[in-house]
Amino acid sequence: MIHDKKAHKYGMVIDLDKCTGCGTCAVSCMSENNVPFKEDESDKKDSITWMRVYRLTNGRPFPDTEVVYMPRPCQHCGGKGDHGHSPCVSVCPATATDYGYDTGIVSQIYTRCFGCRYCMAACPYHARYFNWWDPVWPEGMEKYLSPNVSPRMRGVVEKCSFCYHRYQLAREKAYVNGTDEVPEADYQTACTTACPAGAIVFGDLNNPSHKVHQIVKPDPHPDPLNPDVVGKSRNPRVFRLLERLGTNPKVYYMSEREWVRKMGDHYLDGEWDKVKNVYGSASHE
Amino acid sequence: MKVDRRSFLGLGIGAVAGIAVSPVGAKLTDDFSIWTQNWPWTPVPPDGEVSYDRSVCNLCPGSCGITVRKIDGRPVKIEGLDTYPVNDGGVCLHGIAGLQYLYDPSRVKTPLKKVNQRFVPISWDEALAMVTGRLKQLQEDQNPEALACITGSAQGSVPGLFNHFMAAFGSPNCLTMPDLESWLVLTATTLHGPKQTLGFDIDHSDYILSFGAGLIDGWGSPVACIQAMAGRKQREATLVQIEPRLSNTAAGADRWIPVKPGTEADLAMGMCGVLLKENLFDPVFAQGFTGGFMRFTAMVQKEYPLDKVAEVTGVSADDIQKTAIAFAKAKMPVALPGKGRGEGAQSLKEFAAVHTLNCLTGNINKKGGVFVKPLPDYLSFPDPVIDDMAQKGAAAEPLAASVQELMARIDQSDQSPVEVLVVYNANPCFALNDPSRVAAAFEKIPFKVCVSPYMDETAMASDVILPVSTFLEQMEDVPSRAGLAASVVGLARPMVKPVFDTRSPGDVVIALAGALGGGVAQSFPWENYEDCLKQLAGQIWKPLTRKGHVIVSGRPPAGSVETDFSFLAENPDTLKPAGDQEFTLIPIDNFRVPSTVPAPSPFAIKTVSDRILKGTDMFVEINPQSANHLKDGGFATLTTPAGSVRVRVHFNDGIMPGVIGMVKGLGHTLNNRYVSGKGVNINALISPTIEPGSGMDAAYGIRAGISKA
């Protein structure tokens, strides 16, 4: 029996100033999770990439141009008020995707999914992908497939699971070792361990001893300006994507550059200057 | 029977009741739903016991330690090896995708020979007999120097065995593809004397002046460089990146100085001029300056005045002056040569000029500086047994100083001076500039042997292919290369039995030597490659097998260094991009697209942006300011003196106006539909220019025109 009743909230923070755009996280993810490939992967709408690396520029002309790369896994949204009503979970008619209240991870059960793709329409982050075709590996190459993640079939949606199988393995290990706690180092996603720049930090946002908590410093109270938003970072360099929607993603981004942080959401003219310094609720700091 | 109203209703109600009560409908629905949930064609990976094994990646000069996760001995995932001295747990996408190379559709599964332009499978015995027959013919003709050999790298025991073979056979024509290490060796030889190379301690340097070195774009040992750059901000070390395009390295640098492509050498000379003029060079280290330091000083003052350099390079005189002074005044400054990955066509003048900046600051063989270190000598090869013929052959004048020069020479000859060519772990028919001329030269060579795991462009142009194992299937020593400060030797071990009928390349050379007999066979007294490596490695064999790696040296080399300025004092010409068109086309080294051996994996191609490759169309980057009537995303015709291709246009504000950038490493034609037939090989658009001082191809870019298609 696992006696660990503590609610974890697994999440990550990605340092965009460290990210080199090398793509190692994306390939590590594909290799870990048996993600297939096809002859033409240049149509990015149907190219299954649980972890996708976007290129952002500041739009300034030569020579003031700047570029950063933004890796985007599933954001594992907690939904409005962080109650577990993630945009995709709320619309799934088959309960193929669900919110794990013990981990904060948004799951995806492939054999339950019947491919209506409502979740894809609901996801504001384009983190979900549909299998338009059955996966085909070149002859012999299916020998490298991992038994920890089942290969998907035509007609289902898939997405990043925060390498949930690694959590399961870490939990089993903790059980064998006779502890309840899964140590921070035992559960790390494939992208985190692969990143050669160390730009990704993963852990339990609820656990103050975890590095991710120390960097993000999530505010336990709702944002006074927008009560749907919970867990806003109290680190002035940290932001989330489309934070004001109230989806409450568990993937945080970090940058010293203001233009990068501004790219995290859509702002009306002049609005950014009013909100840019409102990090969390100042009253709780 | 008459159907009246009563019986019709009765039958109807009966049928409805019957269907409702019968289990058939429910059963059919159930069966149907189960059938729709069956995917017998979707593989179910077999489960089993998990184990981890460690090895060293040999896909690029990076030489990273890796762990391989296996399920019942079946490798399923490659990850970085913690505490390995090169990469300390880090890994790159190509290493992770290593398992795709194992089952790559373009792998050569059995020895092949070419009959009527088609490859026919043959046995290993027949293949080796064919090659030895040809080699014996050369010996009978007293013409051993007509054997030439091209290897992908010069370091390690396997390239060493090829060299050893060539020495015993009696041919001086053993060449290496131009990688960063070969340029560094050439630079060290020119400035400090033979048998040395350069290592850069960027982990500790506090001021890095990079002349286009793509520190996070794959330069040197890619993972080690990325890790050094990730720690750079915490160390408060400055990175100044000089290059015409905002590469990822430039985007992450403290300062990006755009420079006109191909004028980096002039800029470095201009900065040398500033240091000399301001008396900012290290007087202690300068005691080791020989070979015309005064001439060099006079030449730089005369030929590279600031205003002239500013005009040539497009960098303002003030910028040059300030940057040079900041560099010289830093505690541990390092100037890095080698544009992009530092491989392929570069320039000795540029390497030498940039390294002269290091020499002037005197930050040589110190922590955070440049290490002038001896070439790795952990392998003790016995002296080859050389008979009279071999002695005569080896004394012949080498045909060329570089692979590109050799190919040009064969291409221009009526009868090829090379009769048998052996290529190992290199793809000159793709990776050299103007590959069509290289292929034409190949046509002229009567007999080509390709020792390769893959059916790449060079294998396809060969007469016999000897398929060798990939790094996951064989044992091999992997020395660190490519500008690393520490010298580390790792041992790659077989992670899985050879998937196909392949052998280790070391075994292939030993078998060839044995079959030849005579002095060549006597020079190879080993049973097999493993036995050979054990004897060559000598004392380090035990720690190598126990720990998986040996740190040969990690500290700055001791002793004084002499610096010879005579090469630069002559002021060799800076090679300008050929042609006279409006734009300059430059190759872009993209981390996700390897440009030599092996070709990109399917996973790597999957990560390539749709603004580099869309379908089979290739994009080129151009600054919107100089795009004239071109449209973003539109089609255009790109023309250079070497050729013309249809491309699509990508507006990038981060590239200098007047420059066109194209990613290098795409446009393969090998037998792997996930990788080949995509985009354009930029090498096909660039004609080689041999640099007089080095004999190497120095054509980094070419003049080009672009117009709406």
Tell me the pLDDT band of B34, cut-offs 50, 70 and 90.
confident
**Contact at CB, A141 and B103, closer than 8 angstroms:** yes
Nearest Cα residue in chain A from B657: A62
**In the prediction, which pLDDT does A225 show?**
83
Name residue, tokens 């806003």: A232
Tell me the pLDDT band of B1, cut-offs 50, 70 and 90.
low
Point out the residue among B71, B93, B613 whose CB comes nearest to the CB of A22: B93
Give the residue-averaged pLDDT of A165-182: 93
What sign does the CA torsion over A10, A14, A20, A26 have? positive
Give the residue-averaged pLDDT of A157-181: 94
Q: What is chain B's length?
A: 709
Cβ count within 10 A of residue B560: 10
State the Cα–Cα distance between residues B599 and B621, nearest whole angstrom: 22
**Closest CA–CA distance from residue A39 to any residue of chain B (Å):** 5
- A195 is a domain residue: yes
Long-range own/partner contacts, residues B160-163 (CB < 8 A, 24 or more apart): B160/B379, B160/B381, B160/B536, B161/B505, B161/B506, B161/B509, B161/B510, B161/B524, B161/B529, B161/B532, B162/B422, B162/B424, B162/B509
State the Cα–Cα distance between residues B394 and A43, nearest whole angstrom: 55
Mean pLDDT, rounded, of chain B: 93
**Contact at CB, A57 and B105, closer than 8 angstroms:** no
> For residue B485, what is the DSSP state?
S
3-state secondary structure (DSSP) of residue B181:
helix
Residues 6+ away with beta carbon under 8 Å from A96: A108, A109, A110, A112, A113, A114, A156, A157
Contact in structure between A32 and A149 (CB atoms under 8 Å): yes
Structural domain span for residue A215: 10-284
**Closest CA–CA distance from residue B482 to any residue of chain A (Å):** 18
Q: Which of B114-123, B377-386, B545-554, B567-576 has the highest mean pLDDT?
A: B114-123
Tell me the pLDDT band of A110, cut-offs 50, 70 and 90.
very high
Point out the residue among A42, A61, A198 whose CB comes nearest to the CB of B613: A42
Domains defined along chain B, listed by start: 5-36 (no CATH), 50-102 (2.20.25.90), 112-178+378-471+498-542 (3.40.50.740), 180-373 (3.40.228.10), 583-708 (2.40.40.20)
**Contact at CB, A144 and B74, closer than 8 angstroms:** yes
**Closest CA–CA distance from residue B213 to any residue of chain A (Å):** 14
State the Cα–Cα distance between residues B177 and B152, nearest whole angstrom: 5
**In the prediction, which pLDDT does A280 show?**
45
| Residues B215-274 pLDDT 10s | 999 999 999 999 999 999 889 999 999 999 999 999 999 999 999 999 999 999 999 999
> For residue B530, what is the DSSP state?
H
At residue B263, what is the residue type?
A: T
Residue B500 CB-half CA count within 13 A: 26
Chain B neighbors of A23, CB-CB under 8 A? 93, 591-592, 604, 607
Cβ count within 10 A of residue B371: 25
| Residues B415-434 pLDDT 10s | 999 999 999 999 999 999 99
What are residue B670's phi and psi, to 5 degrees?
A: -85, 175
**Contact at CB, A61 and B653, closer than 8 angstroms:** yes
Map B336-376 to HEC letters. ECCCECCCCCCCHHHHHHHHHHHHHHCCECCCCCEEEEECC
Extended beta strands in B367-419, E state: 370-374
Nearest Cα residue in chain B from A114: B37
- H-type alpha helices, B461-585: 505-516, 518-523, 529-537, 541-547, 566-569
Q: Which CATH number does the domain housing residue A199 bear?
A: 3.30.70.20
The pair of three-digit structure tokens given for residue B71, joined into one six-digit string: 């399920």
3-state secondary structure (DSSP) of residue B26:
helix
Chain A neighbors of B613, CB-CB under 8 A? 42
**Contact at CB, B229 and A20, closer than 8 angstroms:** yes
Give the residue-averaged pLDDT of A41-66: 95
Contact in structure between B619 and B611 (CB atoms under 8 Å): yes
**In the prediction, which pLDDT does B564 show?**
92
Judge whether residue B525 has pLDDT over 80.
yes
- A129 is a domain residue: yes
> Considering all CA atoms of chain B, what is the largest pairwise distance in Å, rounded to the nearest integer?
125
Nearest Cα residue in chain A from B607: A23
| Residues A139-153 pLDDT 10s | 999 999 999 999 999
Contact in structure between B209 and B253 (CB atoms under 8 Å): no
State the Cα–Cα distance between residues B701 and B709, nearest whole angstrom: 22
Query: What is the full DSSP assignment across A44-88?
Result: TTSS--SSEEEEEE--PPTTS--EEEEEE------BGGGSSB-HH
Chain A neighbors of B91, CB-CB under 8 A? 24, 28, 194, 196
**In the prediction, which pLDDT does A277 show?**
67
Give the residue-averaged pLDDT of B51-74: 95
Tell me the pLDDT band of A220, cut-offs 50, 70 and 90.
confident
State the Cα–Cα distance between residues B567 and B350, nearest whole angstrom: 12
Contact residues, B window 602-631, toward A, CB-based 8 Å cutoff: 602-611, 613-615, 623-625
Percentage above 90 pLDDT, chain B: 83
Please tell me if residue B670 touches chain A, with a CB cutoff of 8 Å: no
Tell me the pLDDT band of A285, cut-offs 50, 70 and 90.
very low
**Contact at CB, B79 and A194, closer than 8 angstroms:** yes
Please tell me if residue B585 touches chain A, with a CB cutoff of 8 Å: no
Give the residue-averaged pLDDT of B596-601: 90
| Residues B131-183 pLDDT 10s | 999 999 999 999 999 999 999 998 899 999 999 999 999 999 999 999 999 99
Please tell me if residue B86 touches chain A, with a CB cutoff of 8 Å: no
- A1 is a domain residue: no
Least confident of A54-58, A96-100, B404-408, B692-696: B692-696
Cβ count within 10 A of residue B393: 25
What are residue A129's phi and psi, to 5 degrees?
A: -130, 145
Contact residues, B window 487-506, toward A, CB-based 8 Å cutoff: 499
Name residue, tokens 């990439």: A49
Residues 6+ away with beta carbon under 8 Å from A257: A17, A66, A68
Q: What is chain A's length?
A: 285
The pair of three-digit structure tokens given for residue B445, joined into one six-digit string: 């060579």
Give the residue-averaged pLDDT of A163-187: 94
Tally of domains within chain A: 1
Residues 6+ away with beta carbon under 8 Å from B26: none
Tell me the pLDDT band of A4, cut-offs 50, 70 and 90.
low
State the Cα–Cα distance between residues B61 and B174, nearest whole angstrom: 20
Chain B neighbors of A198, CB-CB under 8 A? 227, 230
Chain A neighbors of B258, CB-CB under 8 A? 62-63
Give the closest residue to A103 by CA, choosing from A189, A175, A167: A167
- A3 is a domain residue: no
| Residues B215-226 pLDDT 10s | 999 999 999 999
Chain B neighbors of A55, CB-CB under 8 A? 609, 611
Contact in structure between B127 and B401 (CB atoms under 8 Å): no
Point out the residue among B223, B229, B625 whose CB comes nearest to the CB of A62: B625
At residue B341, what is the residue type?
A: R
Q: What is the dihedral of CA B357, B362, B363, B366, to 10 degrees?
A: 150
State the Cα–Cα distance between residues B180 and B211, nearest whole angstrom: 14
What are the strands of the beta sheet with B549-553, ordered from one edge? Answer: B476-479, B487-492, B549-553
Tell me the pLDDT band of A283, cut-offs 50, 70 and 90.
very low
Chain B neighbors of A144, CB-CB under 8 A? 74-76, 99-100, 102-103
**Closest CA–CA distance from residue B321 to any residue of chain A (Å):** 20
Q: Which residues pair with B67 in a beta bridge?
A: B54, B79
Tell me the pLDDT band of A228, cut-offs 50, 70 and 90.
very high
Give the closest residue to B353 by CA, choosing from B181, B621, B143, B571: B571
Judge whether residue B456 has pLDDT over 90.
yes
Judge whether residue A113 has pLDDT over 70.
yes
| Residues B396-406 pLDDT 10s | 999 999 999 99
Tell me the pLDDT band of A281, cut-offs 50, 70 and 90.
very low
- A4 is a domain residue: no
Contact in structure between B586 and B660 (CB atoms under 8 Å): yes
**In the prediction, which pLDDT does A180 show?**
82
At residue B168, what is the residue type?
A: A
| Residues B95-141 pLDDT 10s | 999 999 999 999 999 999 999 999 999 999 999 999 999 999 999 99
**Does the bond joining B337 to the residue before it have cis omega, within 30 degrees of 0?**
no
Give the residue-averaged pLDDT of B443-453: 96
Contact in structure between B649 and B615 (CB atoms under 8 Å): no
**In the prediction, which pLDDT does B40 show?**
78
